[in-house]
Structures are given as structure tokens and as C-alpha cells.
Amino acid sequence: MAFLEQRPLPTHGYWGDITSSLLWCEEKYRWTRYIAEPANTISNLFFLALALYGARSCLAHDLPLRFLLVNLGIALIGIGSLLFHMTLKHEAQLLDELPMIYTSLLLTYAVCETTKRGQKKRFKVLLPATLVLAGAGVTAGYVSGIYVRHGLRAWGE
């Protein structure tokens, strides 16, 4: 079976050199030069399917906007993670990690804000403002390099 025989792994793929700070367990560019980690890349299609199903359910049941936004966040996680595992580029890593932060913040709001549509909001300003500031702070840390990324890099090292 020729397709199973061992061959040297390429040092980079179609997207150029690997620039991400994380490397997962899959052998890089083993099957194609276009996808660095096929299993991790393809598995993110399930995030997209789940998000589309959830968004459709939100619209069908006339749920508050916060639930639709959570599903769109899940879709962004799927897209960003797909791009990251396909390319292993630093920029795509940000598209993978930051949507996870943003969606976690959206989920926090969705869980804490329990009012139904048309009712007075429990958290009118303080919680949303706090979550937006937290997201902005994390984003600034990621972009500036003053952050700890999975314990691997701190203060722009």
C-alpha cells in the first residue's frame, strides 16, 4: 500500500512556514501540502454545522438575540480553528483563539441575562460593559504580544 509508506515530512506547506506558537499532535502536511492538520481541520466543520442548526433554531423559536449571537460565535470558532489547523500561521491562530474568548463572553452574558424578550434587562450596562472591556483587554494583549499564550510566551518574548 503505497499511500501508507513513510516519507519525509515537508518543512512547510502551501501557506509557507509554520508561524504559530502551538503545534498539535498530528504530523504536519502528511497528506497534502494545503492542510497542515487534516483531522483537526475537518473536525471544525462540526462547529459550523452545530452553529447553523443552533442559529436556525433561534430564528424558528423567536429566541432573544443573545442566543443567536452565541451560535454565530460558535460558527466563528469553527471558521477560525479550521483556518488555523489548515495553515498553522500566527494570524490564523488569533482567528482560532480570540473567537473562543469572545464566545465565552457572549455565553456569560446569555447565561446571566435571563429576561425574556420585551422585558426590562437585568444587566442594562454594567455586565455588557464589563464583558466588552474584558474582550478588548484580551484582544489588546494578544495583538500587542503582552500575554501568556497557553503558558508558552509572556511579555513579548
Binding positions for Zn(2+): 85
DSSP H helical segments within the chain, as ranges? 38-43, 45-60, 65-87, 90-112, 126-144
Contact 51, 72 (CB under 8 A): yes
Cα(40)–Cα(22) distance, rounded to whole angstroms? 13
Give the burial class of 92: count Cβ atoms within 10 A of its Cβ; 0-12 exposed, 13-18 middle, 19 or more buried: buried
Annotated binding site for Ca(2+): 24, 26, 37
**Which candidate, 26, 4, 28, places its Cα nearest to that of 14?**
28
Residues making up the binding site: 24, 26, 37, 85
CA dist 38 and 30 (Å) reads 9
